Structure 1
């Protein structure tokens, strides 16, 4: 099976991309999700010293590279199409990658409540 990913809003490309729901693409999606989870955990555990700050920056740059590579690879973007991602904000790029991952995994994206995240007072 495959899913159709619309990238008109993000990349200005009218044609939808067909992405196979193959083991290879599912694994790439899990790798992205693991990297995102690691960044969130690292951010929670970081301190205020310079070493933690440098480590946090390294993690953020790695996350940015991983996210962009995921989008380019999973959609099979050409060099010109991939260049359009460089002009997007990091927040928009992550949101696009998360939407692609959700569509491949057939997961409805919704904001978690404080209770669901364990952050309730």
Structure 2
């Protein structure tokens, strides 16, 4: 009886730890398997970057925003506010669709999406 309770508590604790350690957009990575089943590892970014390839407004996880780089190139990238800190090597940057040189697109209107993302520092 005691043994089965200990086993049950251990299984619940292990399940909780597993879900708490799930990869999220913006995490460091070296290969796709480190980003789970729904994200891809961008190894061109310093220390890698878990992201979702090909998104539309509202399709990104809560910690991310869909960034439209033009020409059907859209990624879920880690959201940030201008004064937020991104991990080392990255900076909080305005989404290209929201800069002075690019107009908002139907996929990422500036008024409806978070406007900044953690990306490679300029």
TM-score bin, normalised by smaller chain: under 0.3
| TM-score normalized with structure 1 length | 0.22
Tell which has more relative contact order, 1 or 2 (C-alpha 8 A, sep 6+). Answer: 1
Higher helix share: 1
Query: Higher strand proportion, which one?
Result: 2
Larger Rg over CA atoms: 2
- TM-score, normalized by length of structure 2? 0.22
